[in-house]
Structure 1
Amino acid sequence: MNRASNGVDGDPSTIVQADQSYPDSNWFVVDLINAYHVEYISLHTNPNCVGGCGNGYHICDTSPFSNLPADHTFTVPCGGYTEFYRFVIIQRDHSIEEMLSDKQLQFAELEVYANDILLRYSNVALNQPAYMSTEDLVHSPSLCVDGDKTTFCLLSPETPIYENWFAVDLIQKFKVVYVVLYSRSGCCYDTMDNFLVGLTNYFDPKVNKTIRDNYEFCGQYPKTVSADFQPMRVDCININIYSRFVIIQQEAAKAGPASPMTFAELENGEHCMCGTPPEPGKTYVSCGCSSISWCSSHYAVFSGITSSGYKGCHQDFLRILVYMTI
């Protein structure tokens, strides 16, 4: 199966292929989850391609390519030092594509290279109190806010009615911008297909009850889960409300003893998380540092304003994020 994930699996022997029968433009998009200064992109052509490999592909600001050999890697400089980008798109140049009867898009592998400047919010869920409606004694909910993707939390079997919730207490109230969840490794990907994210300020984890639909709806992941540590981003519908608790629930059809909730990590972010020095050699730009005074002496403050319109400060890197403003 030539699915999209083949294009970013690190294996040039697998290919991604868009249906040639599709009447309009075919495209491939990779979500980097965070926004980066993209320096260059490498694309490896289909090893089994016969003529016209990469014909008309338009990447960054380069002219369309033509007649690339099969099983060949070509690199395109992007020079992205002024703008941050989250999505990378591979598509044929329209002027070339409209002349082709076969609009099939195919290649083996896409690699995106960026510098160490990362546009993102910081994590406020790390090591905060976390709860599940029925906790597993070994794989406790705290393992999903420990910053370690090799550990995972697991919902113990529940009997009807299935309460089915994971909640993290942020201690304070924040404006949640988006949530990113990572799947666990080696098992049970589909248990988190189409999961839901909720927000609330009123939640008692000591009272186990059904809470579905009784919280502010942030959003729902619109896809299935198919890989180890797959990052799954949900953008909140309303980013202007303050919330203390972030809630994760399985889609109602998934909630049950046959597929208990399990994932590797959840993180929340807020502006300018200060007090922890950044990882050596890395630079992280906060999307929401509205005041340099928020940044402690541990952070090197950038001069001027970032492309997002906020002053920037170095940020510590954390894996799974609920990105938020304060």
Structure 2
Amino acid sequence: MVERANKPSALAATPGLPPQAQVNISDDNSMVTAQLPTGETIEILLHGATILSWKDAAGDEKLWLSENAKLDGSGPARGGIPLVFPVFGTNSGHAVEKLPQHGFARNSRWEFLGKSTSEGATAGVKLDFGLSSQNLDEATRKLWPYAFGLIYSVTLDRESLNTTLVITNDGEVPFEFQTLLHTYFKVNDIESVQVTGLEDSPYVDKLDGLKVKNQSGTVTFTGETDRVYTPAKGPSHPIVISDGGKPRFRIVRDNLDDAVVFNPWVDKANSLADFTPKDGWRKMVCVEPGSVSKWQTLEKGDAFEAAQTIYLE
């Protein structure tokens, strides 16, 4: 064989693909889990498309979930991030008044539509879920007889969690709705929690006859709290949850004008059968971006899109 004077060196090995997020569906097809290459994880229950768990790379849980939360589809899960649609609370005298509290989205079986991943330093993952009027049982369709579609996207990155909801009117007539992301944050001690970003904002006090009041400073907690704020500085201005004097979570809203702040305290927690442990109120606070102080009207063929992004501080 003739030896070439300038024989090329061996080709470099083809570089392997960068690490990708791992996404799994449970054996009983009830839950979707994802883990980033850097260790962050998320768990979503297909019943309600409820986010049950969000952990950082060190395994530190960010969401509060009742030890007695319903995970078998027998009812909505208490804790995590349930989805509220098409009504917040109950609303007598309205077309939704016969629906269960907070509507049917958190108590319906959603479809997992698939995943998409991003590469590079963040290596995030987006999980998509869907619910439509065709997925509802006959009894619910009779109570709310509108053709609709919901696409819920959950994007996990190293230091943030984004939840985006797209609502479409697939029918021939307009409908009205409210929606909210009912986020339960895990904290060390509610009595040392402060919420900023709501200063000088009006709110409806649900514990005081729905009186409209004004927030004069930082929100702190000394008893049961259930308020619907319309933050004065708009959705893009962050709401920050601090715990023990240290910022923990920064929430930025998109097209969600309101924010509900809730803690059940002693008596309310004791009255809720699925709230355990009974002193769990000390370890949680709800700050819930939503569109609930008024009704949104969606015309035939139109869509409404809204989101929250929670950043770890």
TM-score under structure 1 length normalisation: 0.23
The structure, 1 or 2, with the larger RCO (C-alpha pairs under 8 Å, 6+ apart) is 1
Instruction: Report the TM-score when normalising by structure 2.
Output: 0.23
